[in-house]
């Protein structure tokens, strides 16, 4: 009798452990693989040090009317912290010299400062919400930031050819309640974990936007950077294109070039 | 001609079963199209593509943002919205409204981005965050900020804080109609469940998306409630007038066939119905019955006089062929004249009613005789010695002719004077009556929060990127201030307010800096700063065009303005710009303005068409009556009733919209039938050498009953229209009812004395 109870107990214990995992085995694998891809994609990007590049931002409305801006972008990798990013406007002329400095933080809201040459003053911008639109474009602030792995949960879905390569398609769900998205689908090639496409689904689960990335170039014989990023909004018919060029890597930049005082010197 | 008719009626009676079968097959085939008839919720169907106000508005929406909005007003049953509970409720609504299908942006005072400067830092944050954790002093601070914000008061919160609004913006896909239904269905459930859970608040909804849904609902309601009522009225009336079960059955079948053929064709042509065209079946039914009643009445009369059924039917067809054909033609012609209207739904209405009238005519000479031949029709024997009541009436009219003529002229002049009190207005918020929640909610919101009518201006600096030019901004500011001074204007939304607020924020919230920057470069940089902090789902094109050349100024109207008042403010604003900022001169636009011009444009376009239709029909009468004098005399009883109706309307109602522009043409085509019947019989008697007095007696005897009968049917049919909750429909129904009654009165009391006075030849 005692034996029976204990074997029953063992059996039910086994059942408790085995049954859910048997049911969720594929699921678990998919989650692990998704995380693995995300981690790898982040890892391959690390170590470039810093770079300067030119960015042309073209906003298009549904009638294909355009508005254009030119910026210089400086990025500095900082170990154990987030990256430092400086956007410096060159065109249109009346905003030339306007600068936006971002210190991205892993676990708390990013720090932002801006400098308006006409006021000759640096102001700290305490703006709550990653969900803001990025400079009135179809990119939101959260789309622009290189996403920390910890900000999403992942699930590998399938493989699919993309361009001339083979891509994995993973789903990622933002952890933060403040996100505008219910989920995103990301296409990574399995050669160098480059992102080729991201589909953004709004809070209702409707397909809101698609980012397509192309014209990858390799720098420092290691790092792949895209020259063209197009964000298309399927609901309002607008799009934003980012054209990157004139990359210069490992130039003479350090943390001192990304401080409030450095903002004034940018002109 | 007579031979053809003879052969045709012989054939139709001899091969009655073939005729019945053939007609029913054709009717059946066309009827299959009925389910293909669609219903639209697009309120812009009322406008033609080349409507200049619509074009300006579309251009405006192209430049800025297409406005598809729903406004949910939150009204606490007690106190103001400045309590923790109320703010938490608004927060809940604001967050969950993002889940409404096709929503792109939700705005309320909760997620309003408030910016302030603290120690030189700029803080931009939603005004309310985590409402459930607010302290009393937080609530006080929120109240203080909200009540002093030009960007909030009268827009997202009322001045006294008794009501707040959650505004949802939508971008719709190609399939607009389906999207509107999806959104409004979702909202109904959403609001009902919110209302259930939070019982201490009342919720009201309005906005153009809800208007569109109501447009759809009204079309459907009119189709499903008015049609059965009209049908019932027609069956009961027909039975009352004909006193024969089988004759009523024949007429009813004819009406059913006519309506099926007409709506079937509409379906095969993929017609999409709206509240205006929803009237087609009702009008067609009402008109279709007239022909058949004339024929059936004659048949029964003939049988009563002892004729064998088949010859009775044949005689009835012969004696009615001419007048029924003429009246069908004139009616169809009048409805076809609606094609001149500036409002496309009236083209569809005119064409299908004209088609229905012709179909009723065709079926009256094919289906009807075959049916009468097949059905076991019996006529009650004639009662001996009864004199027609119409003969007594004729004697009365003849003996009192001078009184009637003089009194008639006096009454006509007095009544018509009301025309000067008429005011033409189309007001989209008042298109639906109070049975629709849209109307009561809109009225409440307009009264307590914000006017729903607004004027829109696009002020163009003339050069790309120049929207931040300080001289241009100063002019925009001056114009906005001028608008704020106008007593008709509620709140004014202008980008210069944002500029001023940013300038103040950037100067440590020093109120003396709540003014425009004095340097264009600085203004441009402020604009960029503003773009840095735009919330999700909102971009600058809401207020500034993509080339940064132009900006939009919106002025909301105070509640309860008429189209004329709205137009007056618009033209005053245009004049102000011409005078004070000529380079910015622009046309006022907006949904309100497009609607405000609707009636006027329609009246202009219909005026000529009505005159042409009347001219053609009058000429037709001159030819048919073979007398110029008779033709001229006919003008009076044909024209006067519509004028009388407008007079009565002016005296008792005052405002008339779209319905008024088409009423005259429609009424004319219908009432001309009475005059035609009356004058043709009068003429017949006169030609036979009878005196005018005896000709009038003859006419009353022959057509008195038929005119009386058709008028009763028409009036009862059209009065059903007034049950509609859609203003254009019920006004049209009321006006047509009044007009057909006036027409009968004119034909019975005014036309005979007139004939006696003018027609003196022997």
Beta-bridge partners for B455: B555
Average pLDDT, chain A: 82
Give tens-digit pLDDT for B307-356.
888 888 888 888 788 788 888 888 888 888 888 888 888 889 899 999 99
More confidently predicted of A196 and A62: A196
How much is the average pLDDT of B587-596? 86
Asked if residue B668 and residue B587 are part of one domain, the reply reads no
**A131/B535 CB distance under 8 A:** yes
How much is the average pLDDT of B133-151? 87
Give tens-digit pLDDT for B198-207.
889 999 999 8
For residue B389, pLDDT over 80 is answered with no
Q: Sort out which chain B residues have CB atoms less than 8 A from A119's CB and list them.
A: 506, 522, 525
Asked if residue B179 and residue B287 are part of one domain, the reply reads no
CB B731 within 8 A of CB B657: yes
Domain with residues A49-142+152-264, CATH architecture: Clam (2.50)
Give the domain range for residue B192: 67-218
**B521/A118 CB distance under 8 A:** yes
Q: Sort out which chain B residues have CB atoms less than 8 A from A133's CB and list them.
A: 531, 534-539
Q: Hey, of A57, A68, A136, A178, which one would you mutate to test binding to chain B, going by the most B CBs within 10 A of its CB?
A: A136
Q: Hey, of B533, B538, B542, which one would you mutate to test binding to chain A, going by the most A CBs within 10 A of its CB?
A: B533
Side-chain-side CA neighbours of A163 within 13 Å: the count stands at 15
Burial tier of B202 (Cβ tally within 10 Å: 0-12, 13-18, 19+): middle
Which residues lie closer than 8 Å to B443 by C-beta, 6 or more apart?
Answer: B429
From the list B101, B121, B528, the residue facing A98 with the nearest CB is B528
Q: How far is CA B647 from CA B130, B420, B604, B644, in A?
A: 61, 8, 19, 5
What count of CB pairs under 8 Å joins A to B?
A: 113
For residue B25, pLDDT over 60 is answered with yes
Asked if residue B669 and residue B606 are part of one domain, the reply reads yes
Q: Is B626 left (phi over 0), alpha (psi -120 to 50) or beta?
A: left
| pLDDT for residue A213 | 92
Residue B40: band (very low, low, confident or very high) from pLDDT cuts 50, 70, 90: confident
Residue B761: band (very low, low, confident or very high) from pLDDT cuts 50, 70, 90: low
Residue B403 domain flag? yes
Q: How far apart are the first and last CA of chain A?
A: 87
From the list A67, A94, A116, the residue facing B529 with the nearest CB is A116
Asked if residue B249 and residue B203 are part of one domain, the reply reads no
CA distance A159 to chain B (A): 31
Does A20 reach chain B within 8 Å, measured CB to CB? no
Residue B2: band (very low, low, confident or very high) from pLDDT cuts 50, 70, 90: low
3-state secondary structure of A212: strand
For residue A265, pLDDT over 90 is answered with no
Q: Sort out which chain B residues have CB atoms less than 8 A from A65's CB and list them.
A: 546-547
CA distance B577 to chain A (A): 28
Q: Sort out which chain B residues have CB atoms less than 8 A from A100's CB and list them.
A: 532
Give tens-digit pLDDT for A129-152.
556 778 778 888 777 766 678 888
**B125/A126 CB distance under 8 A:** yes
| pLDDT for residue B187 | 92
Closest residue in chain A to residue B101, using alpha carbons only: A204
Average pLDDT, chain B: 85
| pLDDT for residue B188 | 92
Asked if residue B613 and residue B587 are part of one domain, the reply reads no
For residue A5, pLDDT over 50 is answered with no
CB B706 within 8 A of CB B640: no
- Nearest to B402, CA basis, from B762, B746, B749, B678: B749
Closest residue in chain A to residue B468, using alpha carbons only: A94
For residue B668, pLDDT over 90 is answered with no
CB B263 within 8 A of CB B33: yes
Tokens of B395: 């004697």
Q: How far apart are CA B297 and CA B360, in angstroms?
A: 16
CB B139 within 8 A of CB B82: yes
Asked if residue B489 and residue B349 are part of one domain, the reply reads no
| pLDDT for residue B481 | 92
B163-177 burial by CB neighbour count: b if 16+ within 10 A, else e?
A: bbbbbbbbbbeeeeb
Q: How many domains, chain B?
A: 4
| pLDDT for residue B683 | 84
Candidate from A131-135, A247-251, B166-170, B284-288 with smallest mean pLDDT: A131-135
Asked if residue B700 and residue B629 are part of one domain, the reply reads yes
Candidate from A11-20, B206-215, B249-258, B314-323 with smallest mean pLDDT: A11-20
For residue B387, pLDDT over 80 is answered with no
More confidently predicted of B311 and A177: B311
Closest residue in chain B to residue A139, using alpha carbons only: B536
CB B569 within 8 A of CB B455: yes
Q: How far apart are CA B575 and CA B38, in angstroms?
A: 44
Q: Which residues of B touch A (CB under 8 A)?
A: 62, 98-99, 101-104, 120-126, 129, 171, 465, 468, 506, 519-522, 524-526, 528-529, 531-541, 546-548
**B546/A203 CB distance under 8 A:** no
pTM of the model: 0.82
How much is the average pLDDT of A227-241? 91
Interhelix angle B227-242/B245-268, nearest 10 degrees: 150
Q: How far apart are CA B304 and CA B298, in angstroms?
A: 10
CA distance B566 to chain A (A): 31
CB A92 within 8 A of CB B523: no
Residue that is written with structure tokens 């030019």 in the block:
B469
**A235/B540 CB distance under 8 A:** no
Give tens-digit pLDDT for A183-192.
999 999 988 8
- Nearest to B167, CA basis, from B86, B104, B101: B104
For residue B735, pLDDT over 60 is answered with yes
Does A119 reach chain B within 8 Å, measured CB to CB? yes
CB B634 within 8 A of CB B618: yes
Q: Hey, of A127, A181, A237, which one would you mutate to test binding to chain B, going by the most B CBs within 10 A of its CB?
A: A127
**A133/B534 CB distance under 8 A:** yes
CA distance A205 to chain B (A): 9
| pLDDT for residue A253 | 83
CA distance A23 to chain B (A): 32
Tokens of B680: 């043709």
Beta-bridge partners for B211: none
**B122/A124 CB distance under 8 A:** yes
Asked if residue B584 and residue B627 are part of one domain, the reply reads no
How much is the average pLDDT of A218-246? 91
Q: How far apart are CA B153 and CA B164, in angstroms?
A: 9
B331-355 burial by CB neighbour count: b if 16+ within 10 A, else e?
A: bbbbbbbbbbbbbbbbbbbbbbbbb
- Which domain CATH number covers B251? 1.20.1640.10
More confidently predicted of B560 and B457: B457
3-state secondary structure of B79: coil
CA distance A169 to chain B (A): 26
From the list B103, B521, B532, the residue facing A94 with the nearest CB is B521
| pLDDT for residue B129 | 85
Residue B590: band (very low, low, confident or very high) from pLDDT cuts 50, 70, 90: confident
Q: Sort out which chain A residues have CB atoms less than 8 A from B123's CB and list them.
A: 126-127
For residue A16, pLDDT over 50 is answered with no
Which residues lie closer than 8 Å to B231 by C-beta, 6 or more apart?
Answer: B255, B285
For residue A9, pLDDT over 60 is answered with no
For residue B762, pLDDT over 80 is answered with no
Q: How far apart are CA A75 and CA A248, in angstroms?
A: 11
Give tens-digit pLDDT for B217-235.
888 888 888 888 888 988 8
How much is the average pLDDT of B424-452? 84
CA distance B653 to chain A (A): 44
For residue B245, pLDDT over 50 is answered with yes
Residue B234 domain flag? no
| pLDDT for residue B605 | 79
- Nearest to B103, CA basis, from B556, B544, B536: B536
Does A64 reach chain B within 8 Å, measured CB to CB? no
Candidate from B120-134, B384-398, B411-425, B674-688 with smallest mean pLDDT: B384-398
Q: How far apart are CA A253 and CA B234, in angstroms?
A: 90
> Which span out of A19-23, B90-94, B116-120, B170-174 was modeled with the highest average pLDDT?
B90-94
Last residue of a domain, one of B378, B406, B432: B378
Question: How many CB atoms lie under 10 A from the CB of residue B321?
Answer: 18
Q: What is the ipTM metric for this complex?
A: 0.84
Give tens-digit pLDDT for B96-119.
898 899 888 889 999 888 888 887
């Amino acid at each position: 009798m005692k034996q029976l109870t204990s074997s029953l107990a063992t059996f039910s214990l086994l059942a408790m452990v085995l049954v859910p995992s048997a049911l969720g085995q594929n699921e678990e694998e998919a989650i692990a693989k998704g995380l693995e891809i995300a981690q790898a994609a982040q890892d391959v990007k690390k170590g470039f040090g810093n770079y300067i590049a030119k960015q042309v931002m073209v906003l298009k409305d549904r009638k294909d009317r355009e508005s254009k801006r030119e910026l210089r972008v400086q990025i500095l990798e900082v170990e154990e912290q987030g990256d430092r990013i400086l956007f410096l406007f060159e065109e249109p002329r009346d905003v030339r010299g306007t600068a936006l400095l971002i210190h991205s933080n892993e676990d708390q809201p990013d720090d932002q400062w801006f400098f308006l040459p006409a006021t000759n003053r640096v102001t700290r911008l305490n703006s709550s919400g990653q969900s803001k639109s990025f400079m009135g474009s179809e990119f939101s602030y959260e789309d622009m930031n290189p996403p920390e792995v910890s900000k999403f949960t992942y699930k590998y879905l399938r493989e699919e050819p993309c361009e001339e390569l083979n891509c994995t398609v993973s789903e990622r769900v933002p952890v933060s309640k403040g996100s505008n998205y219910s989920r995103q689908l990301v296409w990574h090639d399995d050669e160098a974990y480059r992102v080729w496409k991201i589909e953004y689904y709004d809070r209702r689960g409707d397909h809101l936007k698609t980012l397509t990335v192309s014209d990858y170039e390799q720098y420092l014989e290691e790092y792949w950077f895209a020259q063209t990023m197009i964000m298309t909004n399927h609901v309002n018919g607008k799009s934003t294109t980012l054209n990157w060029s004139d990359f210069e890597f490992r130039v003479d930049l350090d943390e001192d070039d990304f401080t409030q005082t450095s903002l004034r010197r940018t002109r | 001609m007579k031979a053809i008719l003879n052969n045709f009626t012989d054939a139709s009676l001899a091969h009655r079963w073939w005729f019945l079968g053939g007609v029913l097959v054709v009717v059946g085939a066309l009827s299959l199209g009925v389910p293909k008839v669609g219903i639209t919720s697009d309120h812009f169907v009322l406008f033609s593509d080349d409507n200049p106000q619509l074009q300006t508005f579309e251009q405006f929406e192209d430049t800025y943002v297409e406005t598809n909005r729903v406004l949910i007003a939150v009204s606490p049953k007690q106190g103001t919205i400045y309590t923790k509970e109320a703010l938490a409720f608004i927060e809940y609504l604001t967050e969950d409204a993002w889940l409404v299908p096709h929503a792109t942006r939700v705005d309320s005072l909760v997620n309003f981005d408030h910016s302030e400067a603290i120690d030189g830092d700029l803080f931009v944050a939603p005004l309310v965050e985590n409402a459930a954790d607010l302290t009393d002093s937080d609530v006080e601070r929120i109240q203080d900020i909200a009540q002093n914000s030009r960007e909030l008061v009268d827009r997202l919160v009322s001045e006294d804080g008794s009501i707040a609004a959650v505004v949802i913006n939508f971008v719709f896909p190609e399939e607009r109609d389906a999207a509107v239904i999806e959104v409004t269905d979702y909202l109904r459930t959403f609001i009902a469940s919110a209302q259930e859970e939070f019982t201490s608040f009342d919720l009201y909804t309005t906005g153009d998306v809800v208007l569109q849904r109501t447009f759809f609902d009204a079309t459907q309601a009119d189709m499903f409630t008015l049609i059965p009522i009209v049908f019932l009225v027609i069956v009961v009336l027909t039975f009352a007038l004909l006193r024969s079960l089988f004759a009523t059955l024949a007429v009813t079948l004819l009406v059913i066939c006519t309506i099926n053929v007409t709506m079937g064709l509409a379906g095969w042509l993929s017609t999409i119905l709206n509240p205006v065209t929803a009237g087609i079946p009702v009008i067609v039914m009402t008109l279709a019955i007239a022909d058949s009643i004339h024929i059936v009445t004659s048949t029964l009369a003939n049988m009563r006089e002892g004729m064998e059924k088949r010859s009775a039917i044949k005689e009835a067809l012969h004696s009615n062929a001419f007048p029924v054909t003429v009246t069908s033609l004139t009616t169809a012609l009048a409805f076809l004249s609606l094609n001149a209207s500036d409002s496309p739904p009236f083209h569809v209405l005119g064409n299908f009613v004209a088609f229905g009238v012709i179909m009723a005519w065709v079926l009256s000479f094919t289906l009807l005789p075959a049916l009468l031949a097949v059905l076991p029709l019996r006529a009650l024997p004639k009662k001996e010695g009864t004199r027609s009541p119409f003969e007594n009436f004729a004697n009365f009219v003849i003996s009192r002719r001078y009184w009637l003529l003089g009194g008639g002229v006096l009454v006509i002049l007095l009544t018509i004077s009301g025309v000067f009190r008429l005011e033409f207005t189309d007001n989209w918020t008042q298109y639906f009556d109070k049975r629709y929640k849209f109307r009561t909610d809109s009225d409440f919101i307009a009264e307590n929060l914000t006017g729903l009518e607004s004027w829109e201006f696009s002020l163009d600096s003339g050069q790309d990127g120049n929207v931040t030019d300080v001289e241009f901004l100063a002019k925009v500011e001056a114009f906005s201030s001028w608008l704020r001074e106008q007593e008709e204007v509620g709140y004014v939304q202008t980008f210069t307010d944002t500029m001023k607020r940013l300038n103040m924020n950037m100067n440590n919230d020093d109120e003396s800096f709540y003014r425009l920057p004095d340097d264009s470069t600085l203004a441009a940089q402020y604009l960029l700063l503003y773009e840095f902090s735009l919330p999700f789902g909102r971009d600058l094109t809401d207020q500034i065009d993509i080339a940064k050349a132009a900006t939009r100024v919106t002025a909301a109207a105070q509640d309860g303005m008429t189209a004329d008042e709205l137009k007056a403010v618009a033209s005053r604003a245009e004049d102000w710009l011409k005078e004070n900022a000529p380079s910015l001169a622009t046309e006022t636009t907006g949904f309100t303005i497009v609607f405000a011009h609707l009636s006027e444009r329609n009246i202009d376009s219909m005026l000529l068409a009505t005159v042409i239709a009347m001219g053609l029909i009058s000429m037709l009468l001159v030819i048919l009556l073979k007398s110029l004098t008779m033709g001229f005399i006919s003008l009076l009883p044909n024209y006067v009733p519509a004028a009388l109706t407008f007079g009565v309307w002016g005296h008792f109602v005052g405002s008339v919209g779209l319905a008024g522009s088409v009423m005259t043409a429609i009424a004319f085509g219908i009432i001309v039938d009475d005059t035609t019947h009356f004058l043709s019989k009068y003429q017949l008697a006169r030609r036979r050498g009878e005196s005018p007095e005896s000709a009038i007696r003859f006419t009353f005897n022959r057509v008195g009953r038929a005119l009386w009968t058709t008028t009763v049917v028409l009036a009862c049919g059209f009065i059903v229209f007034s049950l509609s909750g859609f203003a254009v429909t019920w006004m049209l129904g009321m006006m047509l009812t009044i007009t057909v009654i006036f027409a009968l009165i004119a034909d019975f009391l005014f036309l005979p004395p007139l004939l006696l006075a003018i027609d003196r030849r022997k």
